[in-house]
Amino acid sequence: EAPEAPPVCPEQSAPAAMQSAAAIGLLRPCAARPILKSPSPGAARLPASRAALRLSAAAPRAGLVAAAGLGRIGLVPASPEQEKRSDCLVAAAASGKAAAGEEAGEESGAALAKTLQLGVFFGLWYLFNIYFNIYNKQVLKVFPFPINITTVQFAVGTTISLFMWATGILKRPKISGAQLLAILPLAIVHTMGNLFTNMSLGKVAVSFTHTIKAMEPFFSVLLSAMFLGELPTPWVVLSLLPIVGGVALASISEASFNWAGFLSAMASNVTFQSRNVLSKKLMLKKEASLDNINLFSIITVMSFFLLAPVTLLTEGVKVTPTFLQSSVSIHCLFVFPTL
């Protein structure tokens, strides 16, 4: 191990200029301070410049810089500029760590907020769907015209969409004729799906209609294999067996079973899953303004214009005050014959 060198003051190892600075009080003599030991005997024979670099890296915050002179290594006080630069670097590193911690906290908070928002949307979706089916069934009992009811539902959706576009609540989409032609098949199957659902609700119980609609995954797998070439794995096929078996058992034991309601619900499954398959097959190139809400709004508007002529040719316009009043009166007489 190399012997320790005696403490060296700046006046003994620095040039004459440094000695003059010490003489006028700009540089104070350093106290006796042991020099850093070399970790190994070979390190004692390093060049002075390399040893200076090692010392400056070892103690930058002590306000010391390494200086080499006359074959010996001494420690001299750092200049104010160097101390200021070191303080700035340390402050920048600390602020960077604080900013990174704040960003991580903000990201985790934003992710939690999005998860909660999604959960709220799912809850509202189920809640509104429950009330929609209950009220739809009640209306179909009094007013047994599913095509008219479906047309009115699309008319209400069209009115809401136009209001949102007119007021700026929803950005009006910029859509081309080619995109409208691509959306048209989706609008057709969307119209048929809603119409078949209302026809089924008018014939059988609400619970039985939605029990049959539980077979949507089966039709999704079937249509994807037929039109997209996506063959299911054996595990997917096995997972579909309980669904198909459960629907079959429920259909056999259903008191309100009739073929019109059963086939309408099945047709609703096929049309709605055809819409999903067509969405994949067509691969619509959406613009920035054509988001999912705008796409659904456009489909709703197109469905209204598609179904309105069918309503006129089949059931006729039954949504008139006189006809509605007579339907309600007949229903009340049927339900409450003593009144």
Q: What's the confidence (pLDDT) of residue 248?
A: 87
Strand, coil or helix: 9: coil
CA distances from 23 to 10, 26, 27, 28, 72 (A): 11, 8, 8, 9, 22
Spatial contact of 299 and 190, defined as CB atoms under 8 Å apart: yes
Q: Considering the domain boundaries, does residue 79 fall inside one?
A: no
Q: What's the confidence (pLDDT) of residue 320?
A: 74
Spatial contact of 48 and 68, defined as CB atoms under 8 Å apart: yes
What does R_g of the chain's alpha carbons equal in angstroms?
Answer: 41
As a three-state string, the secondary structure of 206-268 is HHHHHHHHHHHHHHHHHHHHHHHCCCCCHHHHHHHHHHHHHHHHHHHHCCCCCHHHHHHHHHH
For the chain, the domain total comes to 1
Tokens of residue 52, six digits? 């200076």
Q: Considering the domain boundaries, does residue 175 fall inside one?
A: yes
pLDDT at 222 over 60: yes
Q: Considering the domain boundaries, does residue 255 fall inside one?
A: yes
For 183-213, how does the pLDDT look when each residue is reduced to its tens digit (9 = 90+)? 898 899 999 999 999 999 888 888 888 888 8
Sign of CA dihedral 24, 27, 33, 34: negative
Range of the domain at 246: 132-336
pLDDT at 8 over 90: no
Single out the residue of 125, 145, 141, 13 nearest to residue 69, CA to CA.
13
Q: What's the confidence (pLDDT) of residue 84?
A: 65
Q: Span 80-91, mean pLDDT?
A: 67
For 109-135, how does the pLDDT look when each residue is reduced to its tens digit (9 = 90+)? 788 888 899 899 999 988 998 888 889
Using a 10 angstrom Cβ sphere, with 0-12 exposed, 13-18 middle and 19 or more buried, the burial of residue 24 is exposed
pLDDT at 36 over 70: no
Q: Considering the domain boundaries, does residue 185 fall inside one?
A: yes
- The reply to whether the predicted model has a pTM over 0.75 is no
Diameter over CA atoms, the chain = 125
Q: What's the confidence (pLDDT) of residue 79?
A: 63
For 276-331, how does the pLDDT look when each residue is reduced to its tens digit (9 = 90+)? 887 776 655 555 557 778 888 999 999 999 999 999 999 888 777 776 666 655 54
Q: Considering the domain boundaries, does residue 235 fall inside one?
A: yes
Q: Considering the domain boundaries, does residue 70 fall inside one?
A: no
For 201, residues 6+ apart whose C-beta sits below 8 A from its C-beta are 133, 136, 137, 140, 146, 209
Q: Considering the domain boundaries, does residue 216 fall inside one?
A: yes
Q: Considering the domain boundaries, does residue 104 fall inside one?
A: no
Quote the DSSP letter at residue 26: S
Q: Span 25-36, mean pLDDT?
A: 49
The phi and psi torsions of 71 (rounded to 5 degrees) equal 80, 0
